[in-house]
Structure 1
Amino acid sequence: MGTLLIKNAKNIITMDEERTRYPGGSLYAVDQQIVAIGRDLPCETADTVIDATGKIVYPGLINTHHHLYQNLTRNIPFVQKTELFDWLVTLYDIWRHLRPEDIYVSAMVGLGELLKSGCTTAADHFYCFPNGVSGELIDEEIRAAGELGIRFFPTRGSMSLGRSKGGLPPDEVCQSEETILRDSRRLIERYHDAGRFAMLRVGVAPCSPFSITADLLRESASLARSYGVRMHTHLAETKDEDDFCREKLGMRPLQFMEENGWVGPDVWYAHGIYFDDGEIGRLSRHGCGVAHCPCSNMKMGSGVMPIVKMLQAGVKVGLGVDGSASNDGSNMLQEVRTALLLHNLMHGTTAIGAEDCLRVATRGSVRVLGWEDDIGSLEVGKAADLFLIDSRQLAYAGALHDEATLPVLTGLSQNVDMTIVGGKVVVKEGRLVGIDEEKVAVAAQAASNRLLNEAALRTKIDYGRMRSENRYPNF
C-alpha cells in the first residue's frame, strides 16, 4: 500500500456535510483512503509528499453524463445551426464509420480533458454500435480510462428502434435486442466492481425514447437489477422528444419510463429539462437522479433544466458535460461556472450560489451515481480523489476572498495544477502524467478527418466542401 501526504495547504475545501474548511491544513491517505485530515497532523513522511503551500485542495469533481466518442466530431460547422433531432440525423451518418481505435483515442482526449479540469470520476453513455464493427467498443474506453487513472463508470447504451421501425437513428447504428442484452451481460460480468474504492463500475443505458422499444426498456431493467447495477438514459431533453412520445407512444416521456420499470433510486436521467411540477414530485418520490448538462443544453437551444425546483423537491441532481459534439469540450470547472451563470440569469442571483453549484458537481453527482460512501467529499474514510489549484497565479489575483468559490468564478483559462485519484497523482503541473498529450491530439485529429472523409463518400452531403467553405445546409 502506498501513502500520500499533502501538507501546508492554503486551504482544504472538504464539501462534507458541514462544508468544513481547513486553512493551513494537511491530508494523509493510505492506499486510496483518507485516514487523517485537518491541521497539525502527526504524519511527517509518506511515499508521496506534496508541499501544498499556496495551493487550495478540493474534492474531485464527478461527471454524470458524457458521450466520449463524440470528441472526434466537435466544432463541425454544418451542424452548428441545428436542433437536436436534425443534429443527430446528420451526425449518425458520421458516427456509423467509427472503429475501435477511434473509440480509444477519443476516450483518451475526453477523459484527459476531464482530469485536467479537476474531474476524478466520469460516467459515460456509449450507445452507437455501427454494423460490421466490433461490438466490444466500450472495452476501448475502459482501456483508456485505465491508462489515464480516472475512476470510470461506463454505461452500456443501446439503440434498437431504427428508421425502418419508426425511430430516429439509421438502422446501420442499431442492434438487435438479443445482441444488446448479451453484450450488457458480458460487460457487467467482466468489468463491474461493486466493492469499496472501485475504479470501474458498469451500468445499463438504452439511449432514449425515440431510439428504443418498450420491450428493450423492460428487459434492460430486469437485467440491470438482476446484477445490482444502475440504469441510465436520456429523458425530457427537448420539445421534439416530448412530441414524439405523445404522438408515437400516447404519453409523456416520464410516464413511458414509469410504465416500463425505469424509475427508482437506481435510475438516473440525462437533461430533464421538460419535467413539469407534478413530474418533479414523482421523480423525488421514485428516488431518481438527473444529470444537469448546462453547456450542451444552451448550445443546442434545448432549454433550461428547472434545477431550483428539483433541489427544493429533494430530487438528486448531479452535473454532466454531455457529449463533446454538443459541448465541444470536457471541462468540468467550466460546466460548474456555466450552471451558476445560467441559473443566475433564469432564477436570480439569490437562487443558487457558486459553492452550491460546486456541491452539485461533487456531493450531488455521487448521489446520482450511488457512490456516496467512497467519493464526493474529503473526509476520513473516503477516497483521496481531489484536485489542487495554485492560488499564486495571475488569474486568481484580487480574488482570494473565498477559496470555496474561487475555481468556479475565476481562473477558467487554465488547467488545475494537480489532480489525484485514489491517492495517485494523474495530473501534475497541468499536464497528464505519463501521457504524450500531443501524440494523442494528433491521432485524434487524424481519426476525425477520416470519419468525415468516410461519411463524404457515402452520403449526399459533401462534408469536406462544407467544412472548407464554412457553410450550413438547411435542415
Structure 2
Amino acid sequence: MRTVVERGAIATVTGPEYASGYVLVDNGRITDVGEGEFTGDAEEHVDASGCLVTPGLVNTHHHLYQWATRGMSADHTLFQWLVALYPVWGRLDAELTHAAGTAGLARLALTGCTTAADHHYVFPRDGGDQVEALVAARRRIGVRLHLVRGSMDRGESDGGLPPDHLVETTEEALLGTEAAIDRFHDSAPDAHLQIAVGPCSPFSVSERLMTGAAELARRKGVRLHTHLAETLDEERQCLAEVGCTPAEYADKLGWLADDVWLAHTIHLAPEAIRRFGATRTGSAHCPTSNGRLGTGIAPVRDLLDAGAPVGLGVDGAASSESGGLGEELHQALLQARQRGGPTSLTTREALWLATMGGALCLGRAGELGSLEAGKLGDLAVWDLTGLAHAGIADPIAALVLSAPPPLARLLVGGRTVVENGVLREEDESVIARDLAAASARLREDR
C-alpha cells in the first residue's frame, strides 16, 4: 500500500527540515521525502496540515510488567524501592504480565513510540510463559518490540536484593534466554520482534551469568543490555565486592562494546565516558525515572561528545508512572541543562536522542530513526493546532518544550496504529479495565 503524509512540517532528523512537505511510504518503507506538494499517486493521503512529522520514537529501556504496580513505594530510594516491590513482582503470572504489557505498549504508542525495548527479568516459578505474554501484547498494539530476556541468579542469601525464590540458577537463566532467542528472534531488516540478552544488573547477578550472557549473545548474534551505574549505592557495593567501579567491572567482563547498550549510566568517571565513546557502547537515558528515584542526572552531553550512542528510555512504570515517551524529550533537555547549563542540549538534539540515538542503541540505525528513502515507514504525526502549542513558530521547539502534542497519526511500517489520538485496533478502555483488575489482584494477594 502507498501512503503519503503531506502538507506537514517535516523533521527528517539527520537531513533537511521542510516547513511543508511530504513523506511517501510504499510497502512498509519510505520511498520519498520532499518539500512542497506531493504530485504522485498514493492509495492513502494523510493530511498533516498544522502537524509536525517525525520518525517514530524509539524507547530504549522499559519494564512493561511494572504497569501493574504503579504508585507503590512512592518515596523510597532505588534499593528500598526494589526490596519493597520484589515480593509483589514475585506473584506475577502470565495473565498479569500480559495486561501490564498491553497497557504499557498502548501508552507508548499513544505518545509517539513505534519501537520499544522491554527488559523483563522477573520469572516466578509458577508465573507461566512470561515471554509469550509480552509477545502477545506486542501483537495487539502493533509496535516493534525488542524484548530483552532478563535474568537474576543472585538472591538475598548470596548478597543480592531479590528474594531467593524469585531468582533462577545460572543454567536456568542461560537456557531460558537461549530458548527465547530460538523461539522469537527475527533478524530480518523489517523485524517487529527481536530478542536481546539482559542480566538484570551487576548487583543481582553473578559474574558467571554476566560472562555467560555475553558469550551467548555473541554466539547468537543478538545484542546485550543491563542496568549500570544507576546509583552511588551500586558503586559502593561494586567497589567493596570486586574492587572497581561498575563501569570498570563491565569493561573487565567484555560488556563495553558496540553490541551493548546500558540503562541509566549516571555515575560515570571521565575515563568511563571516554571508554563508552571509544567502544561505541550505548546508553539508555531515563530522565523521569532518574528524577522520581533521585538517582542523579546522567552525563548525556559528555557521552555524546565522546561519541557514545545515547537514546531515551521511559523505564518501568513503577518509577515513571506516566509511561509516555514523548514527554522524555522535554525531561532530557531540562536535566541536561540543569547539569551543564543552557547550551548543554538543543531541542533538535533532544529529538535526535528519541529517534536516531535510540536506533543506534538498538542496532537499527540502518532501518529506523530518521525519515529518508529506504528506511522503514515508522512515522509520528504530531498535532500542533491546539492551545498548548499555538503561537510557537518552530514546530520542533513546540514538540520538545511544551506539553507532548496529541498524535494525529502513528504509522509502523506504513500501518496505522494510532489515529486522532485513539488506538486503531484496540479499545483503550478495555485495556485500562484489564490493567486495573490485574493491579488490584496483586494488591489483594499481598
User: How would you bin the TM-score normalised by the shorter chain?
Assistant: over 0.9
TM-score (norm. length: structure 1): 0.92
For 1:103 and 1:274, the matched residues in 2 are separated by 31
Are 1:289 and 1:316, in contact at CA under 8 Å, matched by a contact in 2?
yes
1:33 maps to 29
Q: How does 1:311-390 map to 2 (within 5 A)?
A: 311-390=304-383
How far did 1:318 drift? Answer: 0.7
TM-score (norm. length: structure 2): 0.97
Letter in 2 for 1:14: T
Are 1:67 and 1:126, in contact at CA under 8 Å, matched by a contact in 2?
yes
Q: Does 1:87 align with 2:81?
A: yes
2:58 maps to 62
2:49 maps to 53
Letter in 1 for 2:190: F
Are 1:28 and 1:43, in contact at CA under 8 Å, matched by a contact in 2?
no
For 1:44 and 1:31, the matched residues in 2 are separated by 14
Q: Does 1:406 align with 2:398?
A: yes
Q: Which moved more, 1:362-371 or 1:257-266?
A: 257-266
For 1:54 and 1:286, the matched residues in 2 are separated by 42
Q: Output one character per residue of 1:137-158: Cα deviation in whole Å (capped at 9) or x when no partner.
A: 0211111111111011010000
Q: Output one character per residue of 1:264-307: Cα deviation in whole Å (capped at 9) or x when no partner.
A: 10011100011100111111122211100010111101011011
How far did 1:261 drift? Answer: 2.1
Q: Output one character per residue of 1:62-92: Cα deviation in whole Å (capped at 9) or x when no partner.
A: 000000000111112xx11110111100000
Q: Does 1:233 align with 2:229?
A: no
Q: Could you list the runs of 5+ residues in structure 2 that have no partner in the other structure?
A: none
1:465 maps to none
How far did 1:241 drift? Answer: 0.5
Letter in 2 for 1:104: H
Letter in 1 for 2:440: N
Q: Does 1:105 align with 2:114?
A: no
Letter in 1 for 2:402: T
How far did 1:259 drift? Answer: 2.1
Letter in 2 for 1:436: D
Q: Does 1:171 align with 2:154?
A: no
1:210 maps to 203
Letter in 1 for 2:410: T
How far did 1:23 drift? Answer: 2.4
Letter in 1 for 2:41: E
For 2:63 and 2:110, the matched residues in 1 are separated by 18
2:12 maps to 14
Q: Output one character per residue of 1:288-333: Cα deviation in whole Å (capped at 9) or x when no partner.
A: 1110001011110101101111111111111101001011122111
1:468 maps to none
Are 1:217 and 1:261, in contact at CA under 8 Å, matched by a contact in 2?
no
For 1:190 and 1:41, the matched residues in 2 are separated by 43
Letter in 2 for 1:325: A
For 1:287 and 1:351, the matched residues in 2 are separated by 21
1:199 maps to 192
Are 2:327 and 2:403, in contact at CA under 8 Å, matched by a contact in 1?
no
How far did 1:334 drift? Answer: 0.8
2:180 maps to 187
Q: Output one character per residue of 1:69-121: Cα deviation in whole Å (capped at 9) or x when no partner.
A: 00111112xx1111011110000011011010111110111111111111110
Correspondent of 1:421 among 403, 412, 416: 412
For 1:446 and 1:102, the matched residues in 2 are separated by 9
For 1:41 and 1:409, the matched residues in 2 are separated by 30
Letter in 1 for 2:13: M
Are 2:153 and 2:170, in contact at CA under 8 Å, matched by a contact in 1?
yes
For 1:6 and 1:309, the matched residues in 2 are separated by 36
- Say which SS state the counterpart of residue 139 (structure 2) adopts: helix
- Say which SS state the counterpart of residue 236 (structure 2) adopts: helix
Letter in 2 for 1:124: D
- Say which SS state the counterpart of residue 22 (structure 1) adopts: strand
For 1:337 and 1:44, the matched residues in 2 are separated by 37
Letter in 1 for 2:57: L
Q: How does 1:240-255 map to 2 (within 5 A)?
A: 240-255=233-248
Are 1:161 and 1:212, in contact at CA under 8 Å, matched by a contact in 2?
yes
Letter in 2 for 1:433: R
For 2:41 and 2:282, the matched residues in 1 are separated by 42
- Say which SS state the counterpart of residue 240 (structure 2) adopts: helix
- Say which SS state the counterpart of residue 45 (structure 2) adopts: strand
1:5 maps to 4
For 1:261 and 1:206, the matched residues in 2 are separated by 14
How far did 1:132 drift? Answer: 2.2
Are 1:109 and 1:441, in contact at CA under 8 Å, matched by a contact in 2?
yes
- Say which SS state the counterpart of residue 244 (structure 1) adopts: helix
Q: Could you list the runs of 5+ residues in structure 1 that have no partner in the other structure?
A: 456-475
How far did 1:250 drift? Answer: 2.1
2:280 maps to 287
Are 2:98 and 2:137, in contact at CA under 8 Å, matched by a contact in 1?
yes
For 2:20 and 2:302, the matched residues in 1 are separated by 37
